[in-house]
Amino acid sequence: MLENSTKQKLREGHAVYGTFFRYAAPSLAEFVAMQGWDFLLFDAEHGTLEPRDMADLARACELHEVTPLARVTTNSAPVILRFLDAGAHGVQVPWVNTAAAAEQVVVSSKYQPRGSRGLAGSRQGGWGNTESLADFTARANRETLVVIHIETAEAAAAVEEYTSIDGIDVLFIGPTDLSHSLGHPANPGHPDVQEVMKRVAEVVVASDKTLGIFAGSRAAATDWYDRGARYFATGLEGLIKQGSQAYLRPARD
């Protein structure tokens, strides 16, 4: 397991930028990694990626010192284990609606003494060839990035409790799912949703956790940076759409 450059940048107070990636296509992942992202977020929740895809996707990132992260399908210890063992340098976990569930994410992601992640020789630890398992467990506990989604009304109401949990690095607002949970589907600009997002942001920024946010545009990223966010994720498809339209519309006009 290489050092987690994204986690180090966050420790130093820098902003980090990444994009969701849904495709089991290592060459495409390598090309995207070469564009300057801090991390690629391999999306198993809204994509078809499996743990078996993670190893080659992680290798594609590591060639260019980009952090491979996995948005897992669910808050399940075996699922988290398999994505990490295959090479993810951290996990982003959706639908974490209670402090107890957030604690379970950390326990599933960390080895003793903080967690109970299953221990075996794996790609992430070089199968025991590059360092001892004991050294690997210490390194993994230090370097593994843990990101928790705040995307439901229940999670937003419990955010103060989340900030007290040791081992969580980033609390990530998911505006679209949050709007759905609050009764305004696909309308994150609704005043009710904006008010909840504002409150969550204020709580997280005042804590020792990093505020994360989905930012679909440069303007959104700039706005949320000014509001204290330092972990930004966007969508690859949205970037392709923007670039395609910027090329085609003037050309056809």
**Catalytic residue numbers, as ranges:** 46
Distance CA 80, CA 59 (A): 18
Q: State the first-to-last Cα distance of the chain, in angstroms, to the nearest integer.
A: 50
Distance CA 248, CA 253 (A): 8
CA dihedral 50, 214, 231, 99 (to 10 degrees): -70
Distance CA 103, CA 107 (A): 6
Distance CA 45, CA 92 (A): 10
Q: Answer yes or no: are the C-beta atoms of 10 and 231 closer than 8 Å.
A: yes
Q: How many CA atoms lie within 13 A of 250 on its CB side?
A: 5
Distance CA 12, CA 153 (A): 31
Structure tokens at 210: 């990093």
Q: Answer yes or no: are the C-beta atoms of 82 and 100 closer than 8 Å.
A: no
Q: Answer yes or no: are the C-beta atoms of 178 and 193 closer than 8 Å.
A: yes
- The rounded Cα 41 to chain-centroid distance in angstroms is 6
Q: Are strands 210-214 and 39-43 parallel, antiparallel or unpaired?
A: unpaired
SS3 of 18, please?
strand
